Amino acid sequence: MDLTGNITPDFGNLTFVDSLDLGSNNFYGEIPKEISNLVELEDLDLGVNNFSGSLPMEIFNILGLRVISLLFNNLSGTLPSNIGSILPNIEGLYLGGLTNLVGTIPHSISNCSKLTILELASNKLTGLIPNFLGHLTSLCFLDLAGNNLTSNSSLSFLTSLTNCRNLTTFSLSLNPPNGMLPVSVGNFSTSLLKFYAHSCKINRRLPNKVGNLTSLLDLDLSDNDLVGYPTSIGNLRNLQGLYLSYNKLTGSIGDNICKLQHLADIDLTENKLSGSLPHCLGNVTGSNKLSFNVPASLGNLKDLVLLDLSSNNMVGSLPPEIGNLKVATRLDQSILK
């Protein structure tokens, strides 16, 4: 359905409604403040429309709201400073992709004890990433990507987030916290499945404790300033996607990575890795100084979709076992000597 037009103040007369879903349409204009009359409302979805004007503060006065989605609208404003007291029952807060959501993350949000989903990506939020986010112990999904949020050099907010024992997905990408990943990242719950922190100016070595995150499916730390190469990555037995491109990694990859039996995509482009490619590894993207024969065991990676071995120093011919890559959609082996 693709509805269009304005939402009129008459919507405020629907006082018996407990769920209002108008998301993914083509509504425009301002969101009428009369929606605050819907005192029975628990779920409000106005996301993915063309609403404009100020973020309607009146919405946040509906005490019974469990879910608010205003994603991807042309709205401007700040988060209410008292959000933790006016939305005591909030479980899902979807405010990503607004035109001009500015300001800081208010301290009172730490009182939203039922909050499980906090989506604030692609906004213009500033200030320090607050340690009090660790008080949101019910949090399962946290997306802060694409803002201008910073941190101290120890990235202490990550230590605080280890209190969120139900956290499965965390994205920090495209923020400039500019620090070193603390050893405490190894204390994240084994519930953590996806960790995204590309283009965050993260520097120094990746701590070996990252190997404790044994349930992790995706790890994206590309486009940072990481050095060395953490062999403990081999402990991430469930890992499917490993993205470490555009760093300053040095040394050899090592055979520990052969333990990653579920790996479908690995990108090590633009590092300073050297030595031989482990016998099991297939999907290493180029611009390193690796020299190797293409191993026959490459054919064991049955789930491999993308294979890019360009800009390395491969020798010999492709093994016939490469024909076992039935689901591969792209093969780039340029500069094969």
Sketch out the chain's domains with CATH numbers: 4-251 (3.80.10.10), 276-337 (no CATH)
The encoded tokens of residue 98 equal 């607004």
Q: What's the rounded Cα separation, in Å, for the pair 81 and 182?
A: 30
Tell which wins on pLDDT, 71 or 314: 71
Average pLDDT over the chain reads: 87
299 pLDDT exceeds 70? no
Q: Which pLDDT score is estimated for 75?
A: 97
Residues 234 and 214 sit within 8 Å (Cβ to Cβ) = no
CA angle 120, 43, 75 (to 5 degrees): 40
Q: What is the pLDDT of residues 52-85, one digit of tens each?
A: 999 999 999 999 999 999 999 999 999 999 999 9
Give the tokens for residue 251. Answer: 């040394």
| pLDDT higher than 50, residue 294 | yes
301 or 29: whose pLDDT is higher? Answer: 29
Residue 16 CB coordination number (10 Å): 9
Lowest mean pLDDT among 74-83, 140-149, 280-289: 280-289
DSSP per-residue letters across 292-320: EEPPGGGGG-TT--EEE-TTSEEES---G
Model pLDDT, residue 310: 53
pLDDT value of position 270: 86
Helices and strands (H and E) in the chain: how many: 2, 26
Contact 30, 7 (CB under 8 A): no
Cβ contacts of residue 204 below 8 Å, gap of 6+? 180, 181, 225, 226, 227
pLDDT, tens digit (0-9, with 9 covering 90-100), for 262-280: 888 888 888 888 777 776 7
Torsion of CA 148, 151, 156, 161, to 10 degrees: -10
* Residue 145 pLDDT grade (very low, low, confident, very high; cuts 50, 70, 90): very high
Is the confidence at residue 35, as pLDDT, over 70? Answer: yes
First vs last C-alpha separation in the chain: 55
Range with top average pLDDT, 7-21, 256-270, 307-321: 7-21
Q: Report whether 254 contacts 230 (CB < 8 A).
A: no
